[in-house]
Structure 1
Amino acid sequence: MKVVLLGNGNSVHIVRWANGLVSRGVEVHLVSAHTCGLDFDSRVKLHKLSIMAPWGYMFGVFSLRGILRKIKPDIINAHYASGYGLLARLSGFKPLLLSIWGSDVYAFPRKSKFHRYFLKENLKAATAIASTSQCMAVAASKIYKHRHVFITPFGVNETHFILDDRFRGDDVVIGTVKSLKSIYGIDILLDAFSKVLNYFNGKRSLRLEITGGGPDLNILKEQAVHLGISEKVIFNGPVNHDDIPRILNGMDVYVALSREESFGVAALEASSCEKPVVVSDAEGLAEVTVEGVTGFVVPKDNPQAASEAIIKLVQDASLRKNMGRAGREHVLNRYTWEHSLDVMLEVYRCAIAIHKER
């Protein structure tokens, strides 16, 4: 099979799809309006459009058409429904599988009626839609109800994300790996952790580790000072994806209190490392967490509920261990990376068949 991936060559997720597909014997061509600066498998063929993003989303179509004429792919898979979705639509190439990511169907259409219409036309032009989660597929259907929608979860490399106790210390560590943006509820996590510290009142040695960069760093540091917990909070800053298993294995409890989340891959990575999770009921997180089994699901914007769930796990080491093991089993049963590749390859075959039937 010959596949053209149309997407951001600087995205770790695009790299994983490209490298994963080529490992399965697929001839993969990545066409991008961004610089391809990451570690692609040497077998992935890289093509940079003559005009870069954002103008490349429209005016790069002439360069794209020339590339497609030379490659003659079996299918084009555009990643991100707004910018690259437009570029794919303008190319006129079919079959087209449009992979939606999250903010393209949640935030983008909220900007204006024009943005909503723009997205609708991109979805409508696709042969089929691929969504990493059921909840995101539902969100897309509110923009345009496509006949052919497939769920293609972004799985976890379970051999990379695995329990490793070498990174554990004496403190009970609560942690998260998230961008420091309001949508991800780091402020709620700080409030919840403050309540946890007040509950134990120095009787347990606790620490909060926040890994990730973003525009709210200084605001969050000020909040920690205001709450009087700054000495117990560590901001690790951004890290390479390869370092995340080490970060997760230094935690006892993983917490994600996002206000909105299209798919909870970070929570799954924690589960794969046998860490119990406390997540908000943002749809993408709740979808991948088995309440009371792999962790606890709490209401959004509710630091009290989050603190109560964290306290339960801090108090009970056997509960942490049992939930962690259940989380690992959950990942192995439903969310491995190899399973994700199986699903995507089958979706490609289905989209090609749908196009041929038209």
Structure 2
Amino acid sequence: MMRAGIKDKIKPLWILISDRWGGPEQVAMSDMVDMANVEIGISLLCLEGSPVHAAALRHPRIKVHSFNHRPRKRFDWSFVRALRGIIESVGANIVHINDEKLLWYLAPALLQRPDISIISSRHTVAEASIKDFVRAFFLRRLDYMIVLSESIREGVMSKRVISEKKVKVINLGLDFTRFDPSKASGKAIRATWGADKDTIVIGSVGRLVPEVGQDTFLKAAAGLLKHHEWKMRFVIVGEEPLVASEAYVASLKDLVTQFHMDDIVTFSSLGDNLPDVMSAFDIFVMPGREEVPGLGALEALAMERPVVLSNVIGAEDIVGRKEFGLLVRPEDAFDLQTKILNLLENPSQRLAMGSNGRTHVLRHFDRRTRFEKSIDLYERCIRRRYARLARIQHARTP
């Protein structure tokens, strides 16, 4: 519960220098909207014309500052000055980032401002690198690092680059008034896909990029064609985010043609009716190479659909011990095919996973809980930084 008067003291600036619209960007936007809705003065710095920019402009309570300045590969003092100027102009006392590489610029930009806190959100665990000792130096400037699960926290701590007390787990959160099976209907959408009531629809939702693993999904689908006892429809729902992904999208369509699946594979764009889309599926899959199965998997479970996910970090926190879904080896089409077949052969297990999955996400992934925990961290930052500033001022007093 937010304490009275605290919202007037919190002045956060989110920095999202990204031209993507993936899970991290969507989660950040959701968090900002929740804060803006309770009249916390949220500011956002983003790339002009980016998907983040477009999404933020739909929310007038978010003060949007867009620019075209990207840091160069070598240290860029002009970028440091630009960051410092924007932080000062909005009067931020908390800077929240999704990309810790920005610390390389934020640390010098805020060298003379120990009263301004920095929080980062981490959605995965970076590979071990010789640069970890450099990263550790800049991570000292962080007040807190927010991670999405205990497994990600354990991965971060194994690198010994940040103090344990600074790493906090805040689960993703869903709006269960929106993702409510009793309010959604996938019947009309299934009809547009050519799926009747006897068709089993196996679907994937996500950006059309290699990391999400739609190519693995299609190869697994091809392997299931020999099983004629089920009518199946395979649906890929997503958007092509950048011109750079055109080759990947073309390769997906080539796979469909190569395996003679034109009649049973559907590509669909992602609209605003995501609960209905999830309701239209019978099984949700996300066989990503490295993409953490975040909101999409939780949204499917919230709509009582079993999930099949790549066994990447964070996935086990979602599926439990096979109570809510199954895990597969990344980029292993045969393993994915086998796990989907397991669910096809066991319809009662499939239904139980979906029902239990909704109970699981209701208990652990509530959007209100995420909001309250985030505000609590912001409040701690304010208290700590103001106390530190008071000590500095006291030390300077003759």
Whether the TM-score (by the shorter chain) exceeds 0.5 is yes
- Helix, strand or coil at the partner of 2:11: strand
Trace 1:1-358 onto structure 2 (pairs within 5 A): 1=7, 2-8=10-16, 11-35=25-49, 36-38=53-55, 39-49=57-67, 52-54=69-71, 59-83=78-102, 85-92=103-110, 93=113, 94-102=116-124, 106=126, 113=130, 116=132, 119-141=135-157, 142=159, 144-147=161-164, 148-163=166-181, 164-167=184-187, 168=190, 169-170=196-197, 171-198=199-226, 200-201=227-228, 203-214=229-240, 215=245, 216-236=248-268, 238-240=269-271, 242-355=272-385
- Helix, strand or coil at the partner of 1:189: helix
Kept in 1: contact 2:13–2:45 (CA 8 A): yes
Deviation of 1:52 after TM superposition, in Å, equals: 2.4
Kept in 2: contact 1:267–1:285 (CA 8 A): no
Name which one, 1 or 2, has greater alpha-carbon Rg.
Answer: 2
Kept in 1: contact 2:308–2:340 (CA 8 A): yes
Deviation of 1:328 after TM superposition, in Å, equals: 1.0
Cα distance in 2, alignment partners of residues 69 and 182 from structure 1:
39
> Which string of whole-angstrom CA distances, capped at 9 and with x for unpartnered residues, describes residues 117-146 of structure 1?
664444232122111233333444427233
Q: How many residues align?
A: 346
When structure 1 is superposed on structure 2, of 243-252 and 7-16 the one drifting more is: 7-16
Amino acid across the alignment from 2:63: K
Structure 1 pair 218–181 and aligned structure 2 pair: CA distance change class (3 A):
same
Deviation of 1:87 after TM superposition, in Å, equals: 3.9
> Which string of whole-angstrom CA distances, capped at 9 and with x for unpartnered residues, describes residues 311-330 of structure 1?
23223433332211111111
When structure 1 is superposed on structure 2, of 27-36 and 211-220 the one drifting more is: 27-36
Structure 1 pair 5–220 and aligned structure 2 pair: CA distance change class (3 A):
same
Kept in 2: contact 1:261–1:283 (CA 8 A): no
Kept in 2: contact 1:34–1:52 (CA 8 A): no
Structure 1 pair 212–140 and aligned structure 2 pair: CA distance change class (3 A):
same
- Aligned-residue Cα RMSD (Å) equals 2.8
Structure 1 pair 350–13 and aligned structure 2 pair: CA distance change class (3 A):
same
Deviation of 1:229 after TM superposition, in Å, equals: 2.5
Kept in 1: contact 2:220–2:333 (CA 8 A): yes
TM-score normalised by L of structure 1 = 0.85
- Percent sequence identity over aligned pairs: 21
Amino acid across the alignment from 1:327: G
- Helix, strand or coil at the partner of 2:225: helix
TM-score normalised by L of structure 2 = 0.77
Deviation of 1:206 after TM superposition, in Å, equals: 0.4
Q: Any stretches of 5+ residues in structure 1 without a counterpart? A: none
Structure 1 pair 354–285 and aligned structure 2 pair: CA distance change class (3 A):
same
Amino acid across the alignment from 1:212: G
Deviation of 1:64 after TM superposition, in Å, equals: 3.5
Cα distance in 2, alignment partners of residues 166 and 57 from structure 1:
50
Cα distance in 2, alignment partners of residues 232 and 323 from structure 1:
25
Cα distance in 2, alignment partners of residues 139 and 325 from structure 1:
30
Amino acid across the alignment from 1:99: S
Cα distance in 2, alignment partners of residues 41 and 181 from structure 1:
27
Kept in 2: contact 1:5–1:76 (CA 8 A): yes
Structure 1 pair 341–263 and aligned structure 2 pair: CA distance change class (3 A):
farther
Cα distance in 2, alignment partners of residues 180 and 160 from structure 1:
25
Structure 1 pair 191–160 and aligned structure 2 pair: CA distance change class (3 A):
same
